[in-house]
Amino acid sequence: MRPPSWLMWIVTSTLCWAILLMQSERGIRMRLFAHWVVYSLWLIGQVFVGAWSIAVDALRPHSQMHPAVVRYPLRVTSDALVTAFSTSITMTPGTMSIGVIDDAAGVPEYLLVQAVFGADEQEVLDGLADMERRLWPAVEGA
């Protein structure tokens, strides 16, 4: 029996943040921990919003679902942040991270994401950019 996806997200995100905290100076560690708590609460809210959207759409006579795969240009490049971002996408109902495309140097460049409500590709990309910014605010303007 597989553990629930929310439990896997907690384990994965905790490990990723632990790696980042170990690599930072002590003064920054508290800010990173506080940011992790805020991000986690926001993400839990997004899980409920996504689940509600899918449930409502499932009850409609004509579904608004238009599955699509988008190629999202990553602004985070460390393995820990790409893993946390990818896991956050996959645990949110209606989206799933399906692959990473590296550049010639082996640095993650694009993330392939399947979105159930993908009729407007730009809207999907904007939502992913918002999630990435909330995960790691240093990407703002990158």
Give the sign of the dihedral formed by CA 89, CA 129, CA 19, CA 38.
negative
Residue 3 main-chain phi, psi, to 5 deg? -70, 155
Give the pLDDT of residue 137: 82
Write out pLDDT tens, residues 7-45: 666 767 666 666 666 665 665 666 777 788 888 889 989
Give per-residue pLDDT as tens, 106-132: 899 999 999 999 999 999 999 999 999
